[in-house]
Amino acid sequence: MTLQQEIAKRRTFGIISHPDAGKTTLTEKLLLFGGAIQMAGTVKARKSDRHATSDWMNIEKERGISVSSSVMKFDYRDFEINLLDTPGHQDFSEDTYRVLTAVDSALMVIDSAKGVEPQTEKLMEVCRMRNTPVLTFINKLDREGQFPLDLLADIEEKLQIECAPLSWPIGMGKRFKGVYNLYRNELHLFRPGEDRRKTNIISIDDINSPELDQLLGTQAQELRDDIELLQGAANPFDRDEYLRANQTPVFFGSAINNFGVQEMLDAFVELAPPPGIRAAAERMVAPDEEQFSGFVFKIQANMDPAHRDRIAFLRICSGKFSRGMKVRHHRIGKDISLANATIFMAQDRAHVEEAFPGDIIGLHNHGTIKIGDTFSDKEPLKFTGIPSFAPEHFRRVRLKDPLKSKQLQKGLIQLAEEGAVQVFKPVNGAEFILGAVGVLQFDVTMERLKAEYNVNAVYEGVDFTTARWIRAKDRKRLEEFQKKNQNNLAIDAEGELTYLAASEWRLQHTLEQWEGIEFLKSREYK
Ligand code: GDP
């Protein structure tokens, strides 16, 4: 198969949703269609780690299971699908954002009773930053929910994206009869409790056919009225608009009943984009270039409880990967051999012989790989757009044993490189300040400092609530700024000057005072 063909059949995506909308359930069903049946129980088991918020060892115990679900690779029809797990913690982390930098499209799951929820909004913001195409699955139609038209209006208003329904539900809750596929003119009949792989599909060319009345009774007329209404009110589906992220095709169903899932998956593989062109600082990189290139978007520690290993997840952007190949690690300027790369199949971890753009491979990391690192054949490249966000929570770290300060520093720097937490060294003051986007990261950091670096420390509250990275063209102005704001300045793990503020109001005040100084809310990994 040619490189072009390998690329054309790949779909790399992530699911965005608010907790409890049905992401886990839907993932299981998708894997079933992909033939990865062993996985069915596994995805559920993974859920338990969500609640072990403060006990890292417990989290670790679950890892054997959760690992393979960080990236799940499965085949469906002629397609090879990489499903990247966007961590579903209530507590939002930067990890979630970064996973979305590695996908080509997203699947949004919405609970039909709840409509658009806060976390969906946040994740959608990230998709919008990168113009990631989004396909929507409205779930739980077997329950009473909001009216479909209201749901579409809710999505359009809150998420600022046009909806184009490709299927339409017939009733809901007890009256849920199925969905009508609007682009194939097919009726999919629903029978509750049947977790079947083949849906009961009836082709109906003419919506006015009496057959519809026989099948749906009085609800046939409701469907006709709905469809008539839709023709006036809803946007016709336009694939280009979807690919440009201006429009989201919408499907309705019930994940737990495995209803509407396969038709959504069928549309997904046909409509969603294959791996595309990616921006590097130097130039645009096309997937079908012969040269191999990829970037690291996630580092996960302790995936294998037997070894304290850390795996770097690399998304391939161009060319072909083959086992044992030598690549250039540009940040440290060294050639390394990718001998032990792992690919994450839905069933287990396997050694990879070859992999292609859109695929994710796992590299063993002995402290030389950071988030944002680019690997390529030779040409120096640096993929852009892997963000670090201004933290919203802060803690001061107080060491219990002063002799351990070296270990503490080493541990914190490594954890920062993994993106687990952000580390700041105040310009005035000796103790580190940690920053995070979600507070869960603090618990995990502390547990890991203890377990992996043998460091006993405690947290103290600190009076900061927001941070900005500082840039300035005028050196004199910068020096003046530094002099006047010493108590609010710190250096982060990458040596960047950061301003920490006690409140948004304070920040605003400083911002207005210091013209010529840039305050950045996010920055890219160097
Ligand atoms: P996640 O937090 O988004 O991963 O959500 P889960 O997949 O764990 O689902 C949350 C809850 O909703 C669970 O109790 C599921 O059994 C339930 N659920 C998922 N899909 C459906 C559905 O189609 N209908 C109904 N009634 N419940 C569902």
Ligand 1 atom nearest to 26, measured from its CA: 7
Say yes or no: CB of residue 21 within 6 Å of ligand 1.
yes
Ligand 1 atom nearest to 28, measured from its CA: 7
Residue to mutate (ligand 1; options 46, 256, 261; most atoms within 8 A of CB): 256
- Is the separation of the CB atoms in 31 and 39 below 8 Å? yes
pLDDT in tens, 167-182: 999 999 999 999 999 8
Q: Rounded to the nearest whole angstrom, what is the distance from the C-alpha of residue 22 to the centroid of ligand 1? A: 4
pLDDT in tens, 347-374: 455 667 789 999 998 888 777 888 899 9
Name the 3-class secondary structure at 351. Answer: strand
Confidence bin at 115 (pLDDT 50/70/90): very high
pLDDT in tens, 473-505: 999 999 999 999 999 999 998 899 999 999 999
ipTM over 0.95: yes
Q: How does the average pLDDT of the chain come out, rounded?
A: 86
pLDDT in tens, 84-106: 987 655 556 677 788 999 999 99
pLDDT value at residue 306: 55
Say yes or no: CB of residue 88 within 6 Å of ligand 1.
yes
Residue to mutate (ligand 1; options 23, 24, 25; most atoms within 8 A of CB): 25
Angstrom distance (rounded) from CA 508 to CA 229: 48
Residues 384-398 have a mean pLDDT of 89
DSSP strand pairing (247-252 vs 162-165) = parallel
Distance of CA 381 to the CA centre of its chain: 24
Q: What is the pTM of this model?
A: 0.85
Residue 450: partners with Cβ closer than 8 Å, 6 or more residues away: 456
pLDDT in tens, 6-41: 999 999 999 999 989 999 889 888 988 876 544 334
Which protein residue's CA is at the shortest distance from atom 11 of ligand 1?
20
Backbone angles phi, psi at 520, to 5 degrees: -100, 135
Residues 500-511 have a mean pLDDT of 95
Strand positions, DSSP E, 215-369: 247-252, 278-279, 284-285, 293-301, 310-318, 321-322, 326-329, 334-337, 342-344, 349-351, 354-355, 360-364
Which protein residue's CA is at the shortest distance from atom 16 of ligand 1?
256
Q: Rounded to the nearest whole angstrom, what is the distance from the C-alpha of residue 159 to the centroid of ligand 1? A: 22
Say yes or no: CB of residue 169 within 6 Å of ligand 1.
no
Residues 31-53 have a mean pLDDT of 50
pLDDT value at residue 33: 84
The residue type of 395 is R
Angstrom distance (rounded) from CA 283 to CA 281: 6
Residues 44-68 have a mean pLDDT of 38
